[in-house]
Amino acid sequence: MFTHLLLPTDGSPASEAAIQQSIELAKAIHAKVTGLHVIPEFHVFTYQTEMLEDTREQFTKDSQSHAVKFLAVIQKAAEEAGVACETAYVESDHPHEAIIKVAEERGCDLIAMASHGRKGISGLLLGSETQKVLTHSKKPVLVFRQRWGQDKTPAPAL
């Protein structure tokens, strides 16, 4: 059975819902969790509008602040459930590679993450980090897909 889950987050509602369900799973199987946020590297030329006016130092400060906020959601949920938890953030322009690397380095045996369900041209152009993790990871990946019911809580993909 699984003993150490990696929970990547981008701070989105889909990620937060996947985190809640992953913490429940971890509690049920007596596993520990590691929360992870991947910060993009700073670029002078970028498609991300928040980088356009920032200096490298300001971008780093803001990105780390967001990471701490996103990871606090995991820490709080784990504490409330009595699940052992560590958190980390790393900087990378390739989140899927960073997720896989951290899973290896930390000895995680399951990666549990949300899928935002982008389809069509937006899915093709933006790509799916979840899809890339699924394609490249040697570790099992549990994907929580967005389902559009009343609660908008992602359902695990089977």
pLDDT at 78: 98
The neighbouring-strand residues paired with 115 are 145
Q: Evaluate whether 69 touches 91 at the Cβ level (below 8 Å).
A: no
47 versus 10: the higher-pLDDT residue is: 10
Per-residue pLDDT at 52 exceeds 60: no
Q: What are the structural domain ranges in the chain? A: 4-156
Rounded distance between C-alpha atoms, residue 79 and residue 100, angstroms: 25
Angle between helices 13-29 and 56-81 (to 10 degrees): 40
In the predicted structure, residue 37 carries a pLDDT above the cut 50: yes
What is the pLDDT, as a whole number, of residue 58? 86
72-103 per-position pLDDT tens digit: 999 999 999 999 999 999 999 999 999 999 99
pLDDT category of residue 150 using cuts at 50, 70 and 90: very low
Average per-residue pLDDT for the chain: 86
8 Å CB contact between 141 and 114: no
Distance (Å, rounded) from C-alpha 92 to C-alpha 104? 16
DSSP, residue by residue, 30-54: T-EEEEEEEEPPP-SS-S-HHHHS-
Q: Residue 85: how many CB atoms within 10 A of its CB? A: 20
Q: What is the CATH number of domain 4-156?
A: 3.40.50.620
Q: How many angstroms separate the Cα of 147 from the Cα of each of 10, 115, 130, 153?
A: 18, 10, 16, 6
Q: Which one is predicted more confidently, 56 or 84?
A: 84
CA gap 68, 28 in Å, rounded = 26
